[in-house]
C-alpha cells in the first residue's frame, strides 16, 4: 500500500500557485510529504516572488520554476519544452488555473459579453487541453493529470455566472481528453473542491454566505481546506487511483449530494 501512495522522486508539474492560500500550494505541500519533486509554473512575476518566499519559509525545494501564461500557446509550449528538457519525464500535472473578468462575475449572467465568455473559456477550460497537449511528449506511461473544478459546473449557482459555464466545459474537456491520453496509459480527472478562501474566490459574489451554508448543510458540517484537496490530489496523482480516469471527485464535505 505504501508503494501505491508514494510519489518518491516523481516529477509533478504544479500550475497556479499565486500565494500561500492557493489550492495549488495545498497540493504542493501534500506532494512534498509524498516525496514528489515539484516543478512550478507561474504567470505573474509577483506570483513567482511569493512562491520563492514560500519555498524558503517552509524549506521546500523547487525542481524548477517556469513562466507559463495559459492564454498564450507560445508560452505554454516553451514552458513544457523547458520542463521536458530539464527533467525528462513528467509523472503528473496539476492544473489549478482559472480566470474571468470581474465584470462578468457581477450582475446577471445574461449580460456576459462575447469577449468575457471567450476569455473565461480560454483561460479556465481550453488551458487544460493546451497544457495536456504540451506535456504529452514528456508524460510517463502511467502519468496522471488533475484539474480543479467547482459545483457551479453542474448546478446553476447564483453569481458564479460565466465561471460555471467554464467549469462545465472544463469537466467535459476532462472526459474527452481521457480517450487521447488513455491510449498512452495516462489518466485525467477533476477534483471539485468546496469553497476555499483564496484570491480567485474573492471575485465570487456572496462567498461568505456560501461558506456558512456549507457549515450548516454539508454532511460533514465544515468547510474543506486546501490540505483536504492536496491529500486527494496525491491519491489521484498516485497509483492508488490507477483504475480511475474521466471522473469528477468531490472534495466538498459531501455538500453536492444534499437535496
Ligand atoms: P488562486 O487565485 O490562488 O489561483 C488561481 C491561479 O490561476 C493563480 O495562480 C493565477 O496566477 C492563475 N492564472 C490565472 N490566469 C492565468 C493565466 N493566464 N496563465 C497562468 N496562470 C493563470 O485561486 P484558487 O482558488 O487556488 O484557484 C485554483 C483553481 O481552483 C481554479 O481553477 C479555481 O476555479 C478552482 N477552485 C477554487 C475554489 C475555491 O473556492 N477557491 C473551489 C473550487 C475550485
pLDDT digits (tens, 9 = 90+) for 168-184: 999 999 999 999 999 99
Predicted local distance difference test score (pLDDT) of residue 203? 81
24 is in an annotated binding site: no
- Pairwise pLDDT comparison (203 vs 82), residue with the higher score: 82
pLDDT digits (tens, 9 = 90+) for 227-252: 999 999 999 999 999 999 999 999 99
62 is in an annotated binding site: no
Q: Which of 160, 176, 250, 255 is catalytic?
A: 160
The continuous run of DSSP H or E covering 233 comes out as helix 226-237
Report whether pLDDT(100) > 90.
Answer: yes
Report whether pLDDT(205) > 90.
Answer: no
Predicted local distance difference test score (pLDDT) of residue 6? 78
Placement of cell 484539474 in the chain: 147
Confidence of residue 1 (pLDDT cuts 50, 70, 90): low
Instruction: Assess whether 255 carries a catalytic annotation.
Output: no
For ligand 1, the distance from its centroid to the CA atom of residue 99, given in whole angstroms, is 7
The continuous run of DSSP H or E covering 41 comes out as strand 37-42
d(Cα 41, Cα 76) in Å, to the nearest integer?
A: 10
Confidence of residue 3 (pLDDT cuts 50, 70, 90): low
For ligand 1, the distance from its centroid to the CA atom of residue 132, given in whole angstroms, is 17
Mean pLDDT of 10-26: 98
Q: Ligand 1: does its nearest atom lie under 6 Å from the Cβ of 83?
A: no
CB-based contacts of 105-111 (< 8 A; 24+ apart in sequence): 105/159, 105/160, 105/161, 105/162, 105/163, 105/203, 105/204, 105/205, 106/205, 109/161, 109/162
Q: Which of 40, 42, 138, 150 is catalytic?
A: 150
Q: Ligand 1: does its nearest atom lie under 6 Å from the Cβ of 125?
A: no
Report whether pLDDT(2) > 70.
Answer: no
Confidence of residue 204 (pLDDT cuts 50, 70, 90): confident
Please give the domain boundaries of the chain with CATH numbers for all domains.
11-257 (3.40.50.720)
Of 55, 33, 42, 51, the residue nearest 13 (C-alpha): 42
Amino acid at each position: 500500500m505504501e508503494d501505491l501512495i508514494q510519489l518518491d522522486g516523481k516529477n509533478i508539474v504544479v500550475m497556479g500557485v499565486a500565494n500561500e492560500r492557493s489550492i495549488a500550494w495545498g497540493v504542493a505541500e501534500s506532494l512534498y510529504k509524498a516525496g514528489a519533486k515539484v516543478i512550478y509554473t507561474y504567470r505573474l512575476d509577483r506570483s513567482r516572488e511569493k512562491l520563492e518566499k514560500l519555498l524558503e519559509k517552509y524549506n521546500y525545494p523547487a525542481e524548477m520554476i517556469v513562466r507559463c501564461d495559459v492564454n498564450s500557446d507560445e508560452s505554454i509550449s516553451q514552458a513544457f519544452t523547458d520542463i521536458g528538457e530539464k527533467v525528462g519525464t513528467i509523472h503528473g500535472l496539476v492544473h489549478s488555473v482559472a480566470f474571468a473578468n470581474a465584470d462578468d462575475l457581477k450582475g446577471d449572467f445574461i449580460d456576459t459579453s462575447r469577449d468575457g465568455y471567450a476569455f473565461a473559456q480560454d483561460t479556465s477550460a481550453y488551458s487544460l487541453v493546451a497544457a495536456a497537449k504540451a506535456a504529452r511528449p514528456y508524460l510517463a506511461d502511467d502519468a496522471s493529470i488533475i484539474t480543479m473544478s467547482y459545483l457551479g459546473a453542474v448546478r446553476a449557482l447564483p453569481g458564479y455566472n460565466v465561471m460555471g459555464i467554464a467549469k462545465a466545459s472544463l469537466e467535459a474537456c476532462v472526459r474527452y481528453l481521457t480517450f487521447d491520453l488513455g491510449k498512452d496509459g495516462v489518466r485525467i480527472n477533476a477534483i471539485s473542491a468546496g469553497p476555499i478562501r483564496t484570491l480567485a474566490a474573492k471575485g465570487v459574489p456572496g462567498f461568505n454566505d456560501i461558506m456558512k451554508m456549507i457549515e450548516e448543510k454539508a454532511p460533514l458540517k465544515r468547510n474543506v481546506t486546501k490540505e483536504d484537496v492536496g491529500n486527494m490530489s496525491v491519491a489521484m496523482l498516485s497509483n492508488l487511483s490507477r483504475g480511475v480516469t474521466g471522473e469528477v471527485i468531490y472534495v466538498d464535505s459531501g455538500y453536492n449530494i444534499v437535496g
